[in-house]
Amino acid sequence: MTQSTSDKVLVGTIAGAFGVQGDVRIKSFCSFAPDIFGYALTDESGTRSIEMVLVQQIKNGFAAQVEGVVTKEDADALRGIDLFATREQLPQAGDDEFYYADLIGLAVFDTGGTELGTVKHVMDHGAGDLLEIQGPKLKDTVLVPFTKAAVPTVDVTGGRLVIDPPEGLF
């Protein structure tokens, strides 16, 4: 998942082998997790097509068969490959919904109009999304909760968002 101008969106990753028959463990980042199996998937470069079939749902993901993968060693070699779908395949984001790819690279301003940096990364650790902000005046990156209270304005087409960070964060 890179800049918002990308026509590819990260929808999942291969987490390694599942069993000894060549199946792989898939982590889906789709809002309805099984949707990942309905997309034409590629690696990040777009040069490698990844065709897979759902085998079963497992804890924290799915087991799948990937075309051409027949051994555990073949499956292990795919560990860490991110799975991308083209933007045209994905459903339109609803009101106040955003693809992470659309947030990365946006300029970040505070409510007073001071530019603070840009969105480097979006993280989801289960308790809620966090925006990782980087900037030339920042010693380290800063994490901001991606909530309506902390981020009242998101203007993807304008390439910016406004944050109202908790006191002392910046």
DSSP string, 141-152: -EEEE-STTT--
> How far is 11 from 165, CA to CA, in rounded Å?
29
- Give, as one character, the DSSP assignment of residue 134: E
- Give, as one character, the DSSP assignment of residue 37: G
For 8-88, CATH number out of 3.20.10.10, 2.40.30.60, 3.30.70.3000, 1.20.120.530 equals 2.40.30.60
pTM score: 0.72
Give just the sign of the alpha carbon dihedral 6, 105, 78, 91: negative
170 residues of the chain, pLDDT tens digit each: 333 346 888 899 999 999 999 999 999 988 889 999 999 999 999 899 999 999 999 998 999 999 999 999 999 999 999 999 998 998 888 787 888 888 999 999 999 999 999 999 998 877 888 999 999 888 899 999 999 999 999 999 899 999 998 788 78
The CATH number of the domain covering residues in 100-163: 2.30.30.240
- Range list for CATH 2.40.30.60 in the chain: 8-88
- Range list for CATH 2.30.30.240 in the chain: 100-163
